[in-house]
Structure 1
Amino acid sequence: MNAAIHAEWTKFHSVRSTWWSVATAALLMIGYAGLAGLTVRLGGEQLSAQDAVIGGTFYLGQFALVTLATLVITSEYATGAIRSTLQWVPRRGGVLLAKAAVLAPVSFALGALCAAIGAGIAIPLISGAGVPTSFGGALQTTLATGGYFALLSLFCLGVGTALRSTAGSITVVTLLLLMVPILIGGLGLHDVVHFFPGMAGTNAMTSGTSPIVGSPAPYPPWLGLPICAVWSAAALHLGHTLLRRRDA
């Protein structure tokens, strides 16, 4: 497994799409946090530091991460490199495990680091406008963002393995993160919406009231990440099952 993980790390950091995705995620997350803090400072809107950071980390940065995590597996199917990968690592579960071992820590570090920098920018701006801030809330957001990004990357890895298509996988993940919850929320099923991965991640970063749905979650904030973990585990199980049954 050490050799497989090293090979996956080499493939991961040696392509330009990885760095473009990381740079885009960082720019969106940090930039939005600073812009939200500046809006509060100049406009006097009562937006908490926690929500200012979340607006950048969750809603914008996740799309760059979805692309990055999906390409880890679907790019190999697109180029045919998956045949070489499976030849050198015959145990297909080992291939998925090696990719996850590289992707999850990088995603956690990306989310936590960018959230921390965003908080460092937004909190002084908001505090200067007389809006109360909470270090504990900012720390919760930072750690939860890292955890959510790690779990979201594994979810995308599972979906990408199952579908073997970049466009199809990004479409399915985006639908589950945004469009389906919006549709269900429009039907008045707000409690159901909170159990989708995107909303559960948001609830983990806040005090339990989603700034997107506007209604309190039917569970405590600490339960948000375990709900995301269930989605990730289900996607990885599906991807692993299909990877074992199908030809490359």
Structure 2
Amino acid sequence: MRTAVSGAVAAEWTKFWSVRATWWCLAAGTALMLGYSTLSGMAQRYGSEPEAANTIALGGGFYLAQFAVIALATLFVTSEYAGGGIRSTLLWTPVRPRVVLAKAAVVLPVLFVSGVVLCGAAMGLASVVKDGHGLPTSVAAGFTTATGMGGYFALVGLLCTGIGWALRSAAGTLVTVIVLLVPLPLIVASLGLPELVPYFPGIAGVNAMVEEGHPNPITMSPAPYAPWVGLAICAAWAVAALVVGTAVLRRRDA
């Protein structure tokens, strides 16, 4: 069993790094993150609302870089259906839940490390560019934002793979995930249910990047829970998506 799982993970790891989409998505996420941090850092010199470097990095991650993450994780699953490679994958690994587990085992560490590294680079770049303007960033705040972003990117990646297994469509998965992360919480808030907003994965992920008691820069209100709870909420969404995706994969033909 352990050998079979490790073999499946090794196969998925090789496939992940052998396609151009992986490199393009990682490059796009890096460019978007660093570009946002540079422009926001420059704006601090010219009377923009004062921000700390970690808040700038958070904005770059939520407003821009996360969409490269979503595309990367989505294509990791749906491209196999588009190209017919899923048939070969299921021949090599006939136990279907093992395929879901193997892809998740690849996405999780890659996106976590990517989130932490990108956030650290963005904070460093923003600090240099704003040159003492804006607000300072404490070590604790920087650590919370970096680890929170890594965890959020990893869990959003798992959410995308789960929905990808269920829908088998890149377009459908992208639309579903983006609506769930951004417009849907706004719609719920406008319907008079703002207390539900912190429990959507996108807002919970941002809450995980902010020190406890500090306002969420997206909703402008403090989270009703600690940062680790935000990641736990994201994890619950990801697990639910993977359970549904696995059930669909087991029942449908490739």
TM-score (norm 2): 0.93
1:171 to 147, 171, 175: 175
Q: Of 109, 113, 116, which aligns to 1:112?
A: 116
Q: 2:59 aligns with which of 16, 32, 55?
A: 55
Q: Is 1:226 aligned to 2:232, yes or no? A: yes
Q: Please state if 1:30 is matched with 2:34.
A: yes
3-state DSSP of counterpart to 1:128:
coil
Q: Measure how far apart 1:127 and its partner are.
A: 5.7
Unaligned stretches of 5+ in structure 1? none
List per-residue Cα deviations over 1:165-206 (Å, max 9, x = no partner): 000000000110011111112223222111000000000101
2:66–2:153 CA contact under 8 A, matched in 1: yes
**Aligned-pair CA distance for 1:76:** 0.6
Choose the corresponding residue for 1:235, options 226, 233, 241. 241
Q: How far has the Cα of 1:133 moved from its partner?
A: 2.3
Per-residue Cα deviation, 1:110-130 (whole angstroms, up to 9, x for no partner): 111110000111124446116
Which runs of 5 or more structure 2 residues have no equivalent in the other structure? none
Deviation for aligned residue 1:221: 2.2
Taking the aligned partners of 1:196 and 1:131, their CA distance within structure 2 comes to 29
| Percent of aligned pairs with the same amino acid | 51
124-133 or 67-76, which moves further after superposition? 124-133
For 2:197, give the aligned amino acid. Answer: V
Tell me the residue number matched to 2:80.
76
Deviation at 1:222, TM superposition (A): 2.3
Q: 1:44 offset after TM fit, Å?
A: 5.0
Aligned-pair Cα RMSD in Å: 1.4
Assess if the C-alpha contact under 8 Å between 2:74 and 2:170 holds in 1. Answer: yes
User: Contact 2:53 / 2:124 at 8 angstroms: preserved in 1?
Assistant: no
187, 190, 194: which one aligns with 1:186: 190
Q: 1:221 and 1:72 mapped to 2: Cα distance?
A: 29
The residue that corresponds to 1:200 in the other structure is 204
Aligned to 1:85: 89
1:57-88 superposed Cα distances (whole Å, 9 cap, x missing partner): 12211111101100111111111110110011
What letter corresponds to residue 216 of structure 2 in structure 1?
Answer: S
- Contact 2:50–2:133, Cα closer than 8 Å, also in 1: no
Give how far 1:145 is off. Answer: 0.6
> Which stretch has the larger CA shift, 25-34 or 153-162?
25-34
| 2:164 counterpart of 1:160 | yes
CA contact (8 A) 1:126 1:133 kept: no
Distance 1:68 1:117, change over 3 A: same
What's the counterpart of residue 139 of structure 1?
143
Read off the aligned partner of 1:23 and give its amino acid letter: A
User: What is the aligned partner in structure 2 of residue 148 from structure 1?
Assistant: 152
Among 16, 38, 57, which residue is 2:20 paired with? 16
How far is the alpha carbon of 1:43 from its aligned partner?
2.4
Note the alpha carbon deviations across 1:107-156, whole angstroms, 9 max, x for none: 11111111000011112444611633212111111111111111010000
Q: 1:33: Cα distance to partner?
A: 1.6
* Regions of 4+ moved over 6 Å: none
